[in-house]
Amino acid sequence: MKQNQFLTILGRDEALSRFETALAAVPVGIETVPLGASLGRVAARSLSPAIEVPPFDRSTMDGFAVRAEDVAGATEAAPVTLRPTGETIACGRLPAVTVEAGRTSVIATGGPLPRGADAVVPVEWTDPTEAGDVLVRRPAASGQNVAFAGSDLGRGEVFLRRGATIGSREIGMMAASGIGEVPVFRRPKVAVVSTGDELVPPGAPLPPAAIYDTNGPIVAATVAENGGEAVTFGSIRDDEAALRAALAEALSTCDMIVLSGGTSKGAGDYTARLVGELGDPGVVVHGVALKPGKPLCLAVAQGKAVVVLPGFPASAMFTFHEFVVPSLRRLAGLSPRADEKVEATVPVRVPSDRGRTEFVMVSLAEGDDGATVAHPVFKGSGSISAFAQADGFVAIDALADHLPAGASAEVTLFDPDTRLPDLVIAGSHCVGLEPIVDALTARGFRVRILALGSTGGLEAARRGECDVAPMHLMDAATGEWNRPFLSDGLALREGWRRTQGLLYRPGDVRFEGRSVEEAIAAALADPSVVMVNRNPGAGTRILIDRLLGGRRPPGWHNQPRSHGAVAVAVARGTADWGLAIEAAARAEGLAFLPYGEEHYDFATPLARADRPAVRAFFDLLAEDGVRSALADLGFRPA
């Protein structure tokens, strides 16, 4: 097999064209399913009724079948008297008596209209007489309160087009037309294979250095969202024979194969080689000028697509949507995906690698001027939580090395029904926010939390891009918390107090019995001691920088974005110490040297202070239940 394409980096458009030309995807087949099993399926041909719907003229009211000309002059003052035929027409009963001039028949809603009648007078427009006649007090026009045969659907009138997805309304029309079986496109079977010794199925115990298989479940779900049927092969260990056997089985039983992991050109990598051995034309693309997603591998064997996605979740999902979903939808008989796009302003500079189209996930919010703002979600291609926090993505052209702050960009939405959040919390994150956000969500508010750090949140608040900016910044000159950092247009609302300090593993004699300053001095004197830092802009990072006095000990470049991540690094031994709140130490069973109590407060733009969600946020902060929850977490409400 020729591998001259192996890691030859192609542009996005050329890569997609090569793949789709080699695959030439068409629907995989047609099957007939019962009406009740057709929900969500794709119609394989256009459908029309073989009868008129309704199949006869029928009443839409309970009342009396009449000749319109008999009641044309009826009024409240001068009602028209009609003599009953003696027939009562119920649903499912064919009328036997003709309605002649001056006569009427009782009729139920849905009952067939009798011969001679051309209208129905509702019962509330009538009164009985002692003689048993019917007084009609209002006129009825010809055809009034009557559904004529074929008025809903005519014989041969198409109501469901080929390629349409069948929903509850379409099922109702098919039922009314007497259609009990539906021809639908067969769902393409897609083998979903994860590779790697480190993978563990969700729900199983997680050994050291292992990770849960994220790509398998999310790829399987995306396959189902786009008309396919996922056949899960689980995670295959890094063993050439095992992977070769799995690929052979998948190719013989499925219509498409999607693997994740094993696409990079590293020592011992054999995935692309095994894929290339499955059949001609083999690997048509290996390497695309994308970020994330560069090591994508696209192949075709025996007329079936074989795709090797990058291992990191963000890379895997972007490349799957860009390169696999279009062909998958054609295999399923679906029309192309209709992406919803919105224009938004990106408030910060976003660096990019020139030469690669870069996809940047963003969260949407409303600015003070009513315009939509897109906050980048900087979490890297290994992040899965970024998908939950993001509403869509912007693409940075391969010829650009950045997207400038304040640029207008087109955002492709993940969900076309996305709506802007009612409350945007941007700044320092704390687990104390969770009980408040839970209560807000229960009240119907949509809340978005952006972990931008204290200074990042303040900047967002100054620009009018968030409603609440949590912060914990101390002015070194005055010792005052948070208030000195406010600018015009911002107000400070007090939140809670939490203890900041140094975390370490219990029993570590390098830290036991020392103050924070003494412990850090001991750590700096020992080059074997590794720290874990915090991200720039975080209030804790500012404290760390002050305590280190400009020094950068081992581990300084490890800069996670949360207190919990600091605690995990220390608990698992990748670091020996770090600064975080006491609640994080407690969660991981770590020892804690308190440094001092810090003020976790909220800056709020005055222009947004009266928004319902903002008022609800601070009302909840004062409620006993929330204050009790904060105390349980180790915080002291202000």
The answer to whether 230 touches 223, Cβ cutoff 8 Å, is yes
**Class of domain 30-53+152-185 (CATH, top level):** alpha beta
pLDDT tens for each residue of 404-426: 999 999 999 888 778 889 999 99
Closest to 299 measured CA to CA, from 19, 4, 599: 19
Query: Which position has the higher pLDDT, 83 or 294?
Result: 83
Q: What is the DSSP letter of 405?
A: T
DSSP 320: I
Residue 267 has pLDDT above 50, yes or no: no
Q: What's the token pair of residue 363?
A: 């969260």
In DSSP terms, which residues pair with 409 in a beta bridge? Answer: 344
Burial of 534 (0-12, 13-18, 19+ CB in 10 A): buried
Tell me what pLDDT residue 211 has. 87
CATH number, span 58-147: 2.170.190.11
As a residue count, the chain comes to 638
Distance CA 223, CA 77 (A): 69
Q: Residue 594: count other Cβ atoms within 10 Å of its Cβ.
A: 13
Return the percentage of the chain with pLDDT > 90, whole number. Answer: 67
Question: 615-621: which pairs have CB atoms within 8 A and are 24 or more residues apart?
Answer: 616/423, 616/440, 616/443, 616/445, 617/423, 617/436, 617/440, 617/467, 617/468, 618/493, 620/436, 620/439, 620/440, 621/436, 621/493, 621/495
Distances (CA, A) of 80 to 65, 260, 415: 14, 80, 60
Decide if 31 contacts 107 (C-beta within 8 A): no
The pLDDT score that the predictor gives to residue 133 is 95
* 106-143 residues labelled b (16+ CB within 10 A) or e (exposed): bbbebbbbbebbbbbbbeebbeeeeeeebebbebbeee
Compute the C-alpha angle 110/111/115, nearest 5°.
Answer: 135
The domains of the chain are located at 12-27+187-331, 30-53+152-185, 58-147, 341-413, 422-638
Q: What DSSP letter does each residue of 413-464 carry, written as one string?
A: ESSTT----SEEEEE---TTHHHHHHHHHHTT--EEEEE-HHHHHHHHHHTT
Rg (CA), the chain: 34
Closest C-alpha to 391, from 371, 375, 414:
414
Peptide bond preceding 54: is omega within 30 degrees of 0, i.e. cis? Answer: yes
CATH no. of 422-638: 3.40.190.290
Measure the CA–CA gap between 265 and 297, rounded to whole angstroms.
11
What's the fold here for domain 341-413?
Beta-clip (2.40.340)
CB 140 within 8 Å of CB 68: yes
Model confidence pLDDT, tens digit, residues 204-254: 998 888 888 888 999 999 999 999 999 999 888 888 899 999 999 999 999
- What gap in Å lies between CA 594 and CA 578, rounded to an integer? 12
Q: Are 275 and 294 within 8 A, CB to CB?
A: no
The confidence score (pLDDT) of residue 367 equals 84
Model confidence pLDDT, tens digit, residues 106-146: 999 999 999 999 999 999 999 999 999 999 999 999 999 99
pLDDT in tens, 423-462: 999 999 888 999 999 999 999 999 999 888 899 999 999 9
Is the peptide bond preceding residue 421 cis, with omega within 30 degrees of 0? no
Q: Tell me which of 85-89, 96-100, 161-165, 534-538 is least confident.
A: 534-538
Structure tokens at 129: 């007489």
With CA atoms as reference, report the closest residue to 223 among 247, 199, 256, 245. 256
The reply to whether CATH 3.90.1150.10 applies to domain 12-27+187-331 is no
Give me the mean pLDDT over the 279-283 stretch: 92
What average pLDDT score do residues 316-321 get?
88
pLDDT at 453: 86
